[in-house]
Structure 1
Amino acid sequence: MQPLASAMTTLRQVLAAAIKSLLRGKSLIRALLSFWIRETPLKGGKVSSKHAPSRTIDDFLREAEQLFVESTTEAALREFSSKLKVQFREGLWSNPACMLPSFNHQLPHGFERGQYLVLDVGGSTLRVALAELRGRGARGAESEIIRMDVFKINPQIKSLKGMDFFDWVAQRISETLSKSPRQPPPQQQQQQQQSTSDKPLPLGIAWSFPIEQTSIRSGRLHDMGKGFLAAEGLLGQDLGDIIESACQTVGLIVEVSAIVNDSTATLLSQAYINPSTRFGLILGTGVNIAAHLPISVIGREKFGARPDSWYERASHVVVNTELGMFGKGILPATRWDRLLNASHPRPDFQPLEQMVSGYYLGEICRYALIEAINSTGLFGGVLPPSLSKPYSLDTETLSIAEEYVFLSTGFHTLLFVL
């Protein structure tokens, strides 16, 4: 107990010193780092360098800031924008893996109403929900999620191959439906039971991965990325059929009514409320944009086999850009970006996503921390075991640290004003 008590006393002293440093205008995080740098290597820890530090932490931070910020000058951004436009045009006309036109040629008119079962398959989270639409006229209450369950998609789930992953999804749908949602009045409930007892449950799917749509409710499965193995053995098969088949194995009869990309879902849901909406942006585990574009800017072969009646009705179409796939050869990669790309199972598959999305930011930071430990003596020159495993530092942890630094800075600013 004595070592523990001593450690707690030391920690309290460090926090007290850090707060005092904060009040003097110094960074709380830097004060804590200074404590760790002075500490001797932990017993049993893996010393990552036998030599004295080759640089100071300030030198390292200055270089890191320069590497990350130098590409954000106005001239650099304009050059990057011009090159990115060229890649966009090429993707719109010929690349079969991106700029994928959906079958949604119209945005919501705002009068859609009813209750629906919704499945949102994201890069790190699965959501199953019952949602109700009330129309654009119900200002402030246009839609409501009656019930939603959220399931974490951890590395073990991502490693499920083929139907094993979709069977897991079906089980989560069954779990959600087995719970009692908010019930309508008895008379309405009886009418609903009579009208739906012999009908499959209508299901809408938001799919956060590439898909080649063949109708509003079907599409051929592509490689998923983000560490998922669910497409193995199922490439080219219809996603709607796969989901319906998986649900049958758990005794659920569902009918997929619509499949949209997560960015398309973002666009459509906002357009349901605000008719001027024309694109939706996803910044989460992955990064993507859906845009409502004229069909004239898209290569005809990218639409696949569609009836003439579709073209007669459509002047525009919602396009899943698969934005994360762009940027190869034009992005300002640091040495940590290159390390991440070299160790990736599919190098260069999603260059932009590797630099800006939640799935990768923690890993880039981990590479930078390892270099700082080796070269500056950070953490006493000891590589913590928790940082030795790839992707062990997730972006959620970085977000917490960022919020803490923001609050600390805001507190200091408030004191200064007062």
Structure 2
Amino acid sequence: MVVPAEHALHEAIQVSPLILSDDVRRQKIENRVAKMRLSAATARKIQDVFISEMNKGIHQQPSSLQMENTYIPELLDGTEEGLYLALDLGGTNFRVVLLELAHGAPIREEVKRYYIGSELRVGSAIPLFDHLAESVSDFVISQGLQDVELPLGFTFSFPMIQHSLDVGVLVTWTKTFNCPDAVNKDAVRLLREALDRRGDTKVKVLAVLNDTTGTLVQGSTLDHNTAVGLILGTGSNACYLERADRVEHWETERHGEREVIIDIEWGAFGDNGVLDFIKTDFDRENDANSLIVNSFTFEKYIAGKYLGEVVRVILAKLTKERLLFVGDSTSDSLLTPGNLTTDLVSHIEQDSLDGGDSNTKEILAKFGIIPDEDDIRIVQYVCEVASNRAALLVSICLASLIDRIDKEQVTIAVDGSLYKHHPRLEGWMKQYISLLCTSGRKFKLIHAEDGSGKGAALVSAIAHRLKKRLQ
């Protein structure tokens, strides 16, 4: 049976043929981007490597996958009642969320956004965490809840090492943050101390998590078969429910847990060189143009922050080799790193889906390019090849997770701008996952929005329940 399955996979991952008026030119372009097109055999090899890296990571052996224990040992059980808070910190704007639960399901949600000025994002961490605490107090008092004990889940979207459900040690700041005195410190403790300095609310920080974990938990309120959380936006990561007896890194006391959410941190998959066999010259240039070279290897193949740049690098190369925009003096803007963003790739892909060219023409016009029919076809072809590879790579890893999770049916909760706005990713993923799964398990993809807000409040409800049980 393996051969027909591989044949079906081989057939499925073929992209639309490039049809040009000049056959020699077509052949040259197809040859140039051939390495971007992964064969069924290569897909299986990537799958083997991913499974191997997961097993090494979970057994605390050197691996490009962190396989972080989140210490969340179960999902909502329907008994959760009352009010729960979330503090969602991921960028210059952050949110405080209040969720009211009845029978484990959200019945009311209040949200307020706050801003962090540039002066608070650098220097000492104390003013930053004081500002977070002040904002939490402002929100709680505005809701008239200052005298109510409120459990809080803290979404801290920076690389951290978790030592328990409520201890997350910052590894490094990213984005526009740089408060050196917080590195190697517990973010929960910094927040608790800031709240204690104020002393004007009864907020209790019970859990720290990232948005991927929150997405899985949020998804579980929409579909009880949810066992995988996926972020496919500017960045990418996934987490899943793992059997607790497989997990070696467990610093707290065990209480007979059957499963636990593992945060894979798959953006770094391949940082140790295990994926170099699929790396093209285009990927090397994309990496060289990125902020931190030789890091986030997998993310650079698939995520919204980089997909547009991969396409731009290919188009720029084809232009320089006089295979694209031949009769046109291409403006320098297409040759400038970062100028072709992933949302534009999604718009061009919509044209390919519709059999049109209006979006493609409009986007190229912004670069000062008036394309001919062949140019349009080449641009659409390159966008499809890069997007299709991203969908296949994500699907390879998701199929491996479905095979690993011992459940009849697995639902994957997904959030993120790329998944939401790219017109073809979801369809490709459904097709590829079903062909790549060796277990033949049923699966489905659901869109679970706001794991970093709602999901964090739900995690605080789980943490609150666990705490009461273990007291």
TM over 0.5: yes
Task: Say if 2:283 and 2:310, in contact at 8 Å, map to a contact too.
Answer: yes
- In the alignment, the residues of structure 1 paired with residue 119 and residue 314 of structure 2 have an alpha-carbon distance, to the nearest angstrom, of 28
Q: Does 1:382 align with 2:330?
A: yes
Task: Provide Cα deviations, 1:355-406, integer angstroms capped at 9, x if missing partner.
Answer: 1111221222232233233223539333344752x43433233333333443
Q: Is the 8 A contact 2:121 2:128 kept in 1?
A: no
Secondary structure class of the residue paired with 1:106: coil
Structure 2 residue corresponding to 1:291, chosen from 232, 237, 240: 240
TM-score by length of 1: 0.65
What secondary structure sits across from 1:362 in the alignment?
A: helix
Identity of aligned residues (%): 24
1:381 is paired with a residue whose SS is: coil
Q: 1:103 to 1:178 in 2, by over 3 A?
A: closer
- Structure 2 counterpart of 1:214: 163
Look up the equivalent residue of 1:170 and give its one-letter code. L
Q: Which consecutive residues of structure 2, in runs of 5 or more, have no partner in the other structure?
A: 1-15, 359-471
Per-residue displacement from partner, 1:215-272 (whole Å, max 9, x unpaired)?
A: 32221112355x4544643221111133345668999754322212222111112223
Q: Indicate the residue corresponding to 1:130 in structure 2.
A: 98
CA separation of 1:399/1:157 partners in 2, compared to 1, >3 Å: closer, same or farther?
farther
Find the aligned partners of 1:88 and 1:289 in 2 and give their Cα distance. 12
What are the superposed Cα offsets for residues 252-302 of structure 1, whole Å, 9 maximum, x if unpaired?
A: 754322212222111112223433322212211221111111222222xx2
Cα deviation, residue 314, structure 1 = 1.7
CA contact (8 A) 1:162 1:229 kept: no
Query: Given that residues 293 and 318 in structure 1 are in contact (C-alpha distance below 8 angstroms), is that contact kept between their aligned partners in structure 2?
Result: yes
Structure 1 residue runs of 5 or longer lacking an equivalent are: 1-26, 35-54, 137-141, 182-192, 412-418
**Is 1:281 matched up with 2:281?**
no
1:89 is matched with: 55
- CA–CA distance in structure 2, aligned partners of residues 208 and 314 of structure 1: 26
Match among 330, 338, 342 for residue 288 of structure 2: 342
1:65, distance to aligned residue in structure 2 (A): 4.7
Measure, in 1, the Cα distance between the counterparts of 2:31 and 2:232. 27
Distance 1:270 1:229, change over 3 A: same
In structure 2, relative to structure 1, the CA distance for the partners of 1:312 and 1:130 (3 Å cut) is closer
Q: Is contact 1:117–1:202 with CA below 8 Å preserved after alignment?
A: yes
> CA-to-partner distance for each residue in 1:164-220, whole Å, 9 max, x for gaps?
994597399469839977xxxxxxxxxxx4xx4345654212333432223322211
**Structural mapping, 1:399-414, within 5 Å:** 399-409=346-356
Per the alignment, residue 371 of structure 1 pairs with 317
Q: 1:324 to 1:248 in 2, by over 3 A?
A: same
Contact 1:221-1:231 at 8 Å conserved across structures: no
- Mapped partners of 1:215, 1:114: distance in 2: 24
Q: Does 1:120 align with 2:63?
A: no
* Aligned twin of 1:361: 307
Q: Give SS of 1:147's match.
A: strand
Alignment: residue pair count: 331
Q: Distance in 2 between matches of 1:168 and 1:361?
A: 37
Contact 1:205 1:259 in 2 (8 A): yes
Q: Distance in 1 between matches of 2:29 and 2:213?
A: 39
Give the greater-gyration-radius structure (CA): 1
Residue type at the aligned position of 2:239: A
User: What secondary structure, in the 3-state scheme, does the structure 1 residue paired with 2:306 have?
Assistant: helix
**Change in 2 beyond 3 A, CA 1:198/1:178:** closer
Q: CA separation of 1:274/1:162 partners in 2, compared to 1, >3 Å: closer, same or farther?
A: farther
Choose which of 132, 137, 160 in structure 2 pairs with 1:170: 132
RMSD value over aligned CA atoms? 4.2
Distance 1:335 1:350 in 2: 17
1:318 aligns with 2:284: no
